[in-house]
Structure 1
Amino acid sequence: MKSAFITGANRGIGFETAKQLAALGYFVYIGSREKTKGLEAVAELKALGFSNADYIELDVTSIASIKAARQTVEGKTPQLDVLINNAGISGGFPQQPLAVPIEKVKTVFETNFFAPIQVIQEFIGLLKKSNEPRIVNVTTELSSITKHQDPSWEFYGYNPSAYGASKSALNAYTVMLAKELKDTNFKVNCVCPGFTKTAFNNYMGVRPVEQGARAIVKYATLNSDGATGKFFNEEGEMPW
């Protein structure tokens, strides 16, 4: 049975991604900072008939917690097939470039950019033991620098200089990571689930969570001729 570890998976898109992967036969590890919520997520999956799930305590902003999570997963499985960096924060809006507090920018980057790098570096050994390792970094359309220069874009009025920039940086790291791993069996991509209705945006999104998770699952389960080092949403490749 293949295995997948998803950060921030106790609710929203992360939880739905876990559910869809469990339905495909993956053993899913639910990464959650809060133990109670993580255990509740596993219990919910089991109530739906999915016994192939377990909880892993993880605070992505703590390197000690990341190391402990890796050790826990390592004690449960000889390899990891999929890593999905889903945990993230918006930092709250508005975030106009001239007014956004620098401390807010640092906090958002800590969770959205530095944390995924640390998680990847810690779990890379387990992933390398898989025959078909996959890494998905969950991003956003608001990270597209090209889109931000297009006045006809539906989100042109949004200017999230902390959140958007943190995900743009994550996109860039994804490209560089894919390049380093290009001669291996790894597939490394960043995926935008779209404006999905979850607690992350106070349920203001327009897409159901099931739809948002589908794109993530698609690129987490790519076959050997799948793309790597790309930016995708449900419709296909996105502009950087």
Structure 2
Amino acid sequence: MSEYATHQKIALITEAKKGIGRAAAEQLALLGMTVLIGARDPRRGEDAAGAVRAAGGNAHAVVLDVTDQANARAAAEQIEERFGHLDVLINNAGITGSGQVSPEDAHDQVPSSVDLDRVRAVFETNVFGVIAVANAMLPLLRRPLAPRIVNVSSAAGSLTITSDPDGPLAALPTSAAYAPSKTALNALTVQYANELRKNGILVNAADPGYVDTEINNHSGYLTAAQGASVLVRLATLGADGPTGGFFSEDGPVPW
């Protein structure tokens, strides 16, 4: 039996122990949601949840490895037992496949020479992990009146932007792993949105922008809080909000 009332909004964010995910957790908690910090590392997840609570929010850690379907299902069972439902899912977990490097140094993903195991690993987290978690959580998301799913993407996943030889990302090296994984995530977002719109579940992709995080050796020009703002906005859309879209804080991002 859940100890939480059905009107209490519950949000799960994957790999929210730091960076953009952690900032989104803090912002949603300040809005009154109970935030579940998904993390593979139990200790780091508990530390992040404790920090959110110390700031006045309500947060709990959930052990969640998005690349492990059985673990995702187990996490859903735990959430059902304790909370009974889920209002928001933010699929934030993602890897570059090149470690903690700035994008301009990611030459190991050039299509003509990339290691296929690297591509598979990136897709395992950035695409297949989203499917695993979303499908595990959908029974819980179908229970509230206004559930929302936000998939954290990137401008690097925009075919319009990356195919422009004079565009803002023209200087980046070509990529067979990270950028295509985000393009696939965008396509997946549209398919989930098309399936779930009849259930009132709004599904959108978010581009946080170039955020100062460990993943780019802190070379980004936006703070984690700034990057998280579009995630929070999409997670709290009203009933008339969009679904099947791709958005940054400045508005729609071209596919």
TM norm. shorter chain > 0.5: yes
Deviations 1:59-92 (A, max 9, x none): 1111111111111111111210000000000001
TM-score (norm 1): 0.98
Distance 1:189 1:156 in 2: 25
| Structure 1: runs of 5+ lacking an equivalent | none
How many residue pairs end up in the alignment?
A: 239
- Contact map agreement 1:82 1:133 (CA 8 A) in 2: yes
Distance 1:184 1:35 in 2: 33
Task: Give the structure 2 partner of residue 77 of structure 1.
Answer: 83
Distance 2:230 2:247 in 1: 8
Q: How does 1:43-122 map to 2 (within 5 A)?
A: 43-50=50-57, 52-92=58-98, 93-94=106-107, 95-122=109-136
Whether 1:40 aligns to 2:47 is yes
Q: Which runs of 4+ in 1 moved over 2 A?
A: none
- Relative to structure 2, which stretch is displaced further, 63-72 or 80-89? 63-72
Q: By how many angstroms is 1:182 displaced?
A: 2.1
- Contact map agreement 2:142 2:199 (CA 8 A) in 1: no
Task: Give the structure 2 partner of residue 189 of structure 1.
Answer: 204
Q: Which amino acid aligns with 1:79?
A: H
- Contact map agreement 2:12 2:88 (CA 8 A) in 1: yes
Whether 1:130 aligns to 2:144 is yes
Q: By how many angstroms is 1:233 displaced?
A: 0.6
Distance 1:208 1:191 in 2: 16
Whether 1:20 aligns to 2:23 is no
Q: Which amino acid aligns with 2:199?
A: T
- Contact map agreement 1:142 1:160 (CA 8 A) in 2: no
Q: Which amino acid aligns with 2:31?
A: L
Q: By how many angstroms is 1:48 displaced?
A: 1.3
Deviations 1:197-220 (A, max 9, x none): 011211111111111000000001
After superposition, the CA RMSD in angstroms is: 0.8
| Structure 2: runs of 5+ lacking an equivalent | 1-7, 99-105
Q: By how many angstroms is 1:161 displaced?
A: 2.0
TM-score (norm 2): 0.92
Deviations 1:150-169 (A, max 9, x none): 12222112222200101110
Whether 1:198 aligns to 2:213 is yes
Calculate percent identity across the aligned residue pairs: 44
